Amino acid sequence: MTDPVVAVVGGGISGLVAAYRLRGALGPDARIVVLERSPRLGGKLHTVDLANGPVDVGAEAFIARRPEVPALLDELGLSDQIVHPSGARPLLYAGGRLRPLPAGTLMGIPADARSVEGLVDDETLQRISDEPGVPLNWDRAGDMSVAALVGSRFGEQVVRRSVDPLLGGVYSGLSDTAGVRATVPALAAALDAGATSLTAAVAAALPAPSHTPVFGTLRDGYGVLLAALERAAAPEIHLETTAGGLRRSNGRWSLDPVGEVDGVVLAVPATEVAALLAEAVPTAADLAAEIPLASSVVVALALPGGSALPQNSGILVATGEELAAKAFTLSSRKWPHLAQRDVALARASFGRYGDDALLSASDEQLVTLARADLAAVTGVEDEPVASYVQRWHGGLPQYRSGHNDVVGALDAAVAEVDGLEIAGAMLHGVGVPACVASGTTAAARLAARMAG
C-alpha cells in the first residue's frame, strides 16, 4: 500500500493543528500538504515585531479555563510560554465618558438592575427590576438574536451600552447578528431548562466565582506556537497558493494544484468552503454560504514608556458613540510581560459586520484615526514611536440566529462523504481553543475513515 496523501486547505491555527494531528495519526511517511493562499501561515494569529519586541495583531489571548491550548502547548514543550493578565479591569466608554465595565453580567446581560446603575436611565433600571414579573415566551425548539431577546426584556439601552460592546469584541458584530444559542449557550440552556424570566436565566447561567485566570497568552506571541506546530507536523507547505477544482472519483479526491489525495481537510473561511464544495458537495456548499463574515482592522501602537494610559486592561465602546474605534486593548496594562517593555503598547480595533469601509483607508489614515480616538477617550496624545496596521478581510464568522442548525446540517452533509472534513472558526467557536478542538476533531475523523 502506498503512503497516504492528505491535503489541508488553510494554514491557520485550525489547519496547522489538523496537519499536526494527522502527522501523529498517519506516521512519518504520510505526505501532508498544506495549501495557504496568503504569504504566511497562521491565519488570524499573527505576531509582528513592534518597537523591538513581539506583539500579536490578531487574536491576543485564549480562554485559559478551556483545556485545549494549555494541553497543546504542553505537548509541544511550550508550557513555560503561558502568561496571564495583570488583573486590571476593563472600562466601558458610553454616553461620552469612561465607566467601569458592569460586573455580574453574562456577555453584558445583567442579572439585576444594580449591575448597570449609572450606565442606563432610570426607566431602564425599573424595567430590569420589573422583568421577572413579565411573562416570558421562549421557544425551546427555536432561536432568536441576542438583541431581540434582551431588547424585548430589558430595553435598547442595555443592548447598545452593555451587550453590544462585549459581543462586538468577540465576533466583530452586533447583538443583532448574534444568535442566543451559538453565542450565549449557557443562557439558552437556562431558558430551555425552564427559567421564567431573563433575569432568572442570567442568574442561573453566570459562572461560579473562581480565582483561576480566565485568559492566557504566550509570552513571545502566537508565532511561537505556529512555528512549533509547523515543525512537529512537518508538512509540505505551499504559500500564496489557491486551492481549486475539488472533485471526487474512484474513491479518491483530486485537488488543484496537488493532484490526487486520500483525504482533504478544509480549514478556511465559510465563503471559501462554499466555493470549494460547490461542485463536489453542493448541499454542504449551500449551507456554508449561509455563514456571513465580518471584516475588521487592528492598529497596534507603541507609545513612549511614560504615556499616561489608564491603569485598566482595555476600553470597550458602546454602540452609537462618536468614535470610529469599537475597542481598545491597553496591552501594557493588561499583560505584565508587556509592561516590562520600554514602550507603552495599545491596540485599537475598527470595523463590524456590515461596516467595513475603513478597510480601504490607508495605514496613515488608520493610525491617525486610532490616535484621535484614543486621545478622545483617554486624553493620551503622545506620538507613537512605532505602529502596525493589520486588516482582517472576512476575519470572523457571524453566529446568527439558527447558526447551530446550519452547522449541524453542514456536519451531517460532510459526514456522508468519505475523505472530507471541515474545520475552523465557522463551526463551533471563534476562539483559539475552539479552533484547536476543531482541527483535532477533523484530523481524528479523517484518520479513522482512512484507516477503515
| Confidence band of 438 (pLDDT split at 50, 70, 90) | very high
Q: What is the pLDDT of residue 128?
A: 97
Cell of 238: 505551499
Q: Would you say residue 357 has pLDDT above 90?
A: no
| Confidence band of 316 (pLDDT split at 50, 70, 90) | very high
Tell me what percent of the residues of the chain surpass a pLDDT of 70. 100
Q: What is the pLDDT of residues 179-212, one digit of tens each?
A: 999 999 999 999 999 999 999 999 999 988 888 8
Mean pLDDT across the stretch 77-102?
95
Q: What length is written for the chain?
A: 452
Mean pLDDT across the stretch 401-412?
97
Cell of 171: 465576533
| Confidence band of 1 (pLDDT split at 50, 70, 90) | low
Q: Would you say residue 224 has pLDDT above 70?
A: yes
| Confidence band of 396 (pLDDT split at 50, 70, 90) | very high
Q: Is 392 exposed, middle or buried (0-12, 13-18, 19+ CB in 10 A)?
A: buried
Mean pLDDT across the stretch 276-297?
96
Read out DSSP for 15-71?
HHHHHHHHHHHH-TTSEEEEE-SSSSSBTT--EEE-SSSEEESS---EETTSSHHHH
Check residue 256 and report its DSSP letter. Answer: E
Q: What is the pLDDT of residues 57-73, one digit of tens each?
A: 999 999 999 999 999 99
- The residue with cell 498517519 is 26
Q: What is the pLDDT of residue 271?
A: 97
Q: Would you say residue 310 has pLDDT above 60?
A: yes
Q: What is the pLDDT of residue 200?
A: 97
Q: Between these two residues, 298 and 169, which has the higher pLDDT value?
A: 298
Q: Between these two residues, 65 and 277, which has the higher pLDDT value?
A: 277
Q: What is the pLDDT of residues 110-155, one digit of tens each?
A: 999 999 999 999 999 999 999 999 999 999 999 999 999 999 999 9
Average pLDDT, the chain: 96
Is residue 235 within 8 A of residue 353, CB to CB? The reply is: no
Q: How many CB atoms lie within 10 A of CB 79?
A: 12
| Confidence band of 411 (pLDDT split at 50, 70, 90) | very high
Cell of 79: 508550557
Q: What is the pLDDT of residue 211?
A: 83
| Confidence band of 53 (pLDDT split at 50, 70, 90) | very high
Is residue 266 within 8 A of residue 315, CB to CB? The reply is: no
Q: Is the peptide bond before 304 cis (omega within 30 degrees of 0)?
A: no
Mean pLDDT across the stretch 9-16?
98
Q: What is the pLDDT of residue 395?
A: 82
Q: What is the pLDDT of residues 419-432, one digit of tens each?
A: 999 999 999 999 99
Q: What is the pLDDT of residue 364?
A: 97
Candidates 208, 166, 217, 165; CA nearest to 54 is 217
